[in-house]
Chain A
Amino acid sequence: MELTLEHRTQGDVTVLDVGGEVDVYTAPKLREKLVELVSDGHYNIVVDMTKVEFLDSTGLGVLVGGLKRVRSHNGSLELVCNQERILKIFRITGLTKVFPIHDTLEEALS
């Protein structure tokens, strides 16, 4: 399955919808998108991972890179994820302590 990436702005926040598989093959596209968003001045980003089917450590690395980039502009990067198989990856790697992770987009935006 291909990676899909779409973004929109809601108030001060940019929502990046990610769908499909994020792995060693597709993660560079996610990285490019995050770099592009930050370069364009989007410093408060919510990555909606509700439609992500697969995520590996390459994808985690890209998300951490995105977090570092927005933080360098005093921004934020939060995640929306309610799938146990994806959340498990964040727990094993200890990244639940690094990223604010929300069950729903509404919760992330509130």
Chain B
Amino acid sequence: MPSVELRIPPDPAYVGLARLVVAQAARQAGVPQDRVEDVKIAVDEALANAVRGQAALNSSAPIDLAFGATDLGFEVVVRALEGPATDVDPADQPGPDLLDPKLSLTLIEGLTDEMSYEPDGATVSLRFVVGLG
């Protein structure tokens, strides 16, 4: 289980801060610089999905992140209340600007070495791993 934990409000303004913190942790853990960029985008996508989900639920419940080096590589887990997270974008509704609602997951899957999406009661955990070297 990743050793560092971070809790943020479900507010788009905090997504940038969180991705910078996780990216720095990935760097310190030994993730190569080009893969640190992948971690940044994957974290951003996971958090943006969670923020959209909370907004759709009209929830202020925080979003929890856990991250750090494990036996598998640099591992990140984003845990939040499950909502129609991938279906609604408050920035764009009801405009025509949305792509495939699974786009975030497509990106995370394409940028990381391992990804899983695990519902657990009312919450869902999105977990991914990027190799250390």
Contacts and interface: CB of A to CB of B under 8 A. Distances in A.
- The answer on A and B forming one complex is yes
Given A58-B48, A89-B41, A24 B107 contact: no
Contact of A31 (B13, B47, B97): B97
Is chain A's binding surface mostly helix, strand, loop or mixed? helix
A99 interface: no
B107 A57 contact: yes
The binding surface of chain B is classed by DSSP as helix
Interface residues of A, number: 24
B99 A92 contact: no
Contact residues on B (Cβ < 8 Å of other chain), bracket: 20 to 34
Given A58-B91, A61-B99, A65-B97, A23 B107 contact: no
B116 interface: no
B97 A92 contact: no
Interface in A27-78: 27-28, 31, 54, 56-58, 60-62, 64-66, 68-69
Contacts of A24: 12, 15, 44, 47-48, 51-52, 89, 91
